[in-house]
Structure 1
């Protein structure tokens, strides 16, 4: 059997980056949930290194070689982890631009775990009002648990009233692993096959 491919996309800008750290933790947790029954390959696409390539692709209309390679890695993934810092209550421009240059059918039927980092827990709803709709539009299968890590979440264990970061990471990773392990290899193709072009739907209505 071919190994399962997990790919984490990190839009962190700093060095070191809490966004990249969260992406790594989620990828490792998902890998560990799959590793008992599957061979797993993990790759990370760091958008910081591709910022110029992404900007050029937005202007020129086509990606260069490095960006094409990154897009192929994401397209070939069995499961995707997408992590962005939150700016002005939404995902970063770099994050959005990367997914704008990917064909809008490339993620159809693909399991995706969404996650974000920010300075305050007040921005956690950006996962639901910005990120989840983005991947729903791309027809990805987004896991129920989204993971947000505020500055105060790092290094804390939580309490009886707080679901600690480690617990959220584990739950989301387990959900992603379940979808990846149970997803047929032809799932993305199957999604495309059931889509009927609008013109064909109209033709069927004509007498």
Structure 2
């Protein structure tokens, strides 16, 4: 999975090239910041084709968790034995994030004698495309801000904003949250990413395997 910002994005904001030490640390910090953003939002954010997810519906609706949904290519019912699937037809996608199963039919007859005494399917496997083809500017800006706070920190010790080696002196920032050796997410970062954060809905994602 690609990072949500690049070294070039960092340099554009700095107005200079990274130093050798900064360039050595930047890839890991970009990866860490990207992971924190994805964890907070619950979104992959980059374009993904052919993603497969298993969901339980609420009523007749499946709500797809990754946004924006750009295509839904296949919906299958997982049979009561938990292993085989049946392709569905007649389902509809609302063009946003919901698949309606109201008028679906199955490619397998689950009412046949082989399935007569078993439960009907209650989990569905959806293949769909999602994400942004072009990185969202606010996401890039937030990731860069997270990385640069750490990359430009005068010390690897969190909270330290000044340091002098000769006749050693240091100064701590008043309050918590100053960057140290690792990237962190601030309340301002969370606010900037709020529109990409998790939505509350009833569809249940089922662990595959």
Higher relative contact order (CA 8 A, sep 6+): 2
TM-score normalised over the length of structure 2? 0.28
Which structure dedicates a bigger proportion of its chain to strand?
2
- Please identify the structure whose Cα radius of gyration is greater: 2
